[in-house]
Chains A and B, each alone.
Chain A
Amino acid sequence: MSKTENKLKGRDLINVGIYSAIYFVILMAVAMLGMIPIFLPLLSVIVPILGGIPFMLFLTKVKKPGMIFVMAMIMGIMMLLTGMGPWPLLTCAVAGILAELCYRSGDYKSAKKAVVTYGLFSLWIWGNYLPLFTDYEGYFAQRQSYGQEYINAVQRLMPLWMAPVLLIACFGCGVIGGMLGRALLRKHFAKAGIA
């Protein structure tokens, strides 16, 4: 493939936009659940699973490097805009590059790699939890005023070891979502003529 053919064109960019829109709407619908904070950790389970459906369809349109990365960055920017802070931008960049490399190694068509790609892509969601874990000590130092009881309780609910657990959950559920997406792809979208 020559270099100019690898450049992203109008159509590719619009495709990124279409699937980002669907993915983000799903994300937001689930995030409404997350407004009830008990469900917050569940976000790293539900979003990767449901998001796998549009993402797997998206991957069938990805034939050039950069599209996955762009989508990841857009998610980062959207998170910044909706007030989740700049941390998702970082995780998005990392997850985007990893996913990009993975799908590329499968020559943009390997089905197995596609599932792993989505698992890696889902890692970006972890960025939303980062403010809960960064500056953990400082956070509690500031909340001394609420009393020791409060601190004990929070530590039991959001212990530091939850951080890697959530990260793994993102990846694992991403893979599950990827497989679900593949299944629907075969069952519906291929037959409906849009994949």
Chain B
Amino acid sequence: MRYCSKAAQEKRRGFIDPRTKLALVVIIALFVLGGIGGEQMEPVKTGLSALPFLLLLVERQWRRFLHGLLVLVLGYGLLLAMPYLPGVLNYIALMCGGILTRFVVTIVMGEYLIGTTSVSEFICAMEKLYMPSTITIPMSVMFRLFPTVAAEWRSIRRAMGMRGIRFGGTKAGQVVEYQMVPMMTSCVRIGEELSASALTRGLGAPVKRTNICRIGFRIQDHVLLLLCAAVIGVWILELCGVTLWWS
């Protein structure tokens, strides 16, 4: 069968539009992490906290789901155990538990966004949100380079092992130097070649860039966006002093 790029792009399309995911990230960060809103918002926040876990399940991201769950359980476990622990351990448990439970929801949401969005989808979404190319170009380069930087790093660590260069705790500075110098040198060289290749293919032309990636709002996006609007609505009502439910 002949290859049809349009159909293939359509098939690869994510379950949720990246813009919707971004909206969710912001809402969850504001209300759950930022703790905006008073008593009335508590049930809303509980619901929001569950949302990223739910989404991970829907998209069958089992590993990320379990990771998130594990951290959550660990956090609450520490908080519960805290009063029974002696002295210093008590503080440590408290601090770890407090911070873990605070950040875990937003981090899981971030994990969801990163795990389920392809780079091209994300860049496309940024372009549709009218981000200027001054932001989108560096960001796409950055996403492109992450695997490269990681691979170089691994390769350098291996090379150090092979050369038999090992350090005790006292030479931390030298470890940094030995790792950073070759890594930066090779990343910068790869970056130069990448620039050359991109520029000969017309990057930076003063025309409106097209993007063949297919994104757009569908029913599931509308539901989630409505949800975001509702959360803000409840908050505004609360600010106005309306009592919505008795808790």
Contact = CB atoms under 8 A, between A and B. Distances in A.
Check A-B contact in the complex, CB < 8 A. yes
Given A37-B99, A184-B177, A17 B184 contact: no
A21 B146 contact: yes
Contacts of B73: none
Interface in B8-37: 22, 25-26, 28-30, 33-36
Contacts of B155: none
A36 to B, nearest CB: 7
B90 A153 contact: yes
A54 B34 contact: no
A40 B99 contact: yes
What DSSP secondary structure best describes chain A's contact surface?
A: helix
B135 A74 contact: yes
B208 to A, nearest CB: 16
A95 interface: no
A81 B25 contact: yes
A86 B32 CA distance: 12
A57 interface: yes
B242 interface: no
B113 interface: yes
B195 A15 contact: yes
B94 A154 contact: yes
A83 B25 contact: yes
Interface string A74-85: 100100111111
B138 interface: yes
Contacts of B65: none
Contacts of B194: 14, 18
Given A25-B146, A77-B135, A150 B25 contact: no
Given A37-B95, A85-B106, A135-B34, 15 more contacts: A9-B204, A14-B138, A17-B140, A17-B142, A17-B145, A18-B145, A18-B187, A37-B96, A38-B95, A57-B184, A83-B108, A85-B34, A134-B35, A135-B35, A150-B82
11 contacts: A13-B141, A14-B195, A18-B142, A21-B187, A25-B150, A38-B95, A53-B184, A57-B188, A66-B134, A135-B34, A154-B95
B26 A80 contact: yes
Report, nearest first, the 3 A-B pairs whose CB atoms are least far apart.
A17-B141, A10-B204, A83-B110
A87 to B, nearest CB: 8
Interface stretch (A101-109, A116-124, A139-147, A164-172): A139-147
Contact of A38 (B36, B92, B134, B203): B92
B107 interface: yes
Interface of A: 8-11, 13-18, 20-22, 24-25, 36-38, 40, 50, 53-54, 57, 66, 70-71, 73-74, 77, 80-87, 131-132, 134-135, 138-139, 142, 146-147, 149-150, 153-154, 156-158, 184, 188-189, 192, 194
B145 A194 contact: no
A9 B138 CA distance: 11
Contacts of A14: 137-138, 141, 191, 194-195, 198, 203
A129 B187 CA distance: 31
Contacts of A20: 138-139, 141-142
Contacts of A131: 33-35, 102
B216 interface: no
B134 A13 contact: yes
A25 B149 contact: yes
B111 interface: yes
B40 to A, nearest CB: 12
B180 interface: yes
B174 to A, nearest CB: 12
Interface in B90-116: 90-92, 94-96, 98-100, 102-103, 105-111, 113-114
